[in-house]
Amino acid sequence: MPNFADYQLGTYFAGLAGELPTMPFSFAAWERLAEEKLEHRLWDYVAGGAGDEQTQRGNVDAFTRYGLVPHMLSGAAERDLSVELFGMRLPSPVFMAPIGVLGVMTEDEHGDLAAARAAAETGVPLVGSTLMQDPLEDVAAALGDTPGFFQLYTPNDREVAESLVRRAEAAGYRALVVTLDTWTLGYRPRDLQHGTFPQLRGACLANYVSDPVFASRLPNGDTSDVATVVQHWALMFGNPTLTWDDLAWLRGLTDLPLVLKGICAPDDVRRAVDAGVDGIYCSNHGGRQAGSAPALHFLPGVVDAAGDLPVLFDSGVRSGVDVVKALALGARAVGIGRPYGYAAAVGGTAGVVHALRSLLAEADLTMGLNGYHDVAEVRSRPLVRL
């Protein structure tokens, strides 16, 4: 099994040989460097959130209200961070959450490919966004042997939705993650101040312009006219009419595991379970869509209501310690967003690989030094409320 903590040891030994790190080891440092690197409108889009951004800050602060209980002399020198998810044995519980502007965050504007290559190198799965800068097939090919999941923003044109799902299935994605909380844009003052956001400028629409059904909706099927593409995309992007009654249609689109993203209420979890979904994704979109309570506060109730169904989680995860805390509250797998997004902006694929390995090393060491052998043991021991 992988010993993720070895990445720390390797860094120290490299330092003895005169090879000093060129990339940071903390979220704060990645954030600072990314702000220097990104164009100001893009930075505000990525770093910003809904309203006064209190929910976004609350997501992060919520982790400080829980503490791990150390257990000594437990013999946890060897750890197993692997988890079972949708019939797959993954080497760790960490995955890369979807980022809808990842494609333009790297210097070469192929950020989705950078993340996919990092997934191939580290074994950390990528949830690829509908909003990619490269077609989903190209991103899937770059994943190598590491599983990828496809995140769907369900358009109001059902035939376009079906086409995207069929393409994802054919490309080899291993699950379909349907985002429920973005049928319209949240109130984002930073973007409003600029009067725009990246997709309105034609960014990260590769999955649409490469889609034959979407192209058929354009005059003469011409996808080269950016203004026309953006107009048609904007008119079909969200689906405010999507309801529980539509789950049967979504379930019928594919044999892939179906995961609903944005579920936070236990009643919604139970309805989703009754509808035959395969996983619940507890998230408040990193505080980007609507003001709410911190997502971590919802996690225990979601896990209880889900029963045997796996629960994925993101929102506010900034470190390996946060990953372990989310696991202790019942998450089967834990997603990171801004940490790897900022790393991509600063260092491309190498930046993402470094950020992932650093975070996994911290999670591994946190488990070992607190006396936890594996993820099951983490989940079996209560956290302390601070």
Q: Which residues are known to be catalytic?
A: 285
Q: Are 69 and 382 in contact (CB under 8 A)?
A: yes
Which SS3 state, helix, strand or coil, does residue 179 take?
Answer: strand
Least Cα distance to 236 among 134, 133, 130, 105 occurs for 130
CB neighbour list of residue 384: distance below 8 Å, 6 or more residues apart: 66, 67, 68, 69
How large is the greatest C-alpha to C-alpha distance in the chain, in angstroms?
71
User: Which of the 8 DSSP states describes residue 374?
Assistant: B
Q: Are 328 and 296 in contact (CB under 8 A)?
A: no
CA 94/CA 286 separation, integer angstroms? 16
Q: What is the dihedral of CA 160, 166, 170, 174, to 10 degrees?
A: 110
Element (H, E) at 297: helix 295-306
- For residue 176, count other CB atoms closer than 10 A to its CB: 26
Q: Which residue is it, tokens 């889609």?
A: 211
Which two three-digit tokens encode residue 204?
């990260």
- Residue length of the chain: 386
Beta bridge mates, 281: 261, 312
> What angle is formed at CA 30 by the lines to CA 27 and CA 36, rounded to 5 degrees?
145
> What is the distance of C-alpha 107 from the center of its chain?
21
Q: Are 384 and 67 in contact (CB under 8 A)?
A: yes
Q: Which residue is it, tokens 């042997």?
A: 145
Which two three-digit tokens encode residue 229?
């593409």
User: Which of the 8 DSSP states describes residue 102?
Assistant: G
Cα-trace Rg, the chain: 20
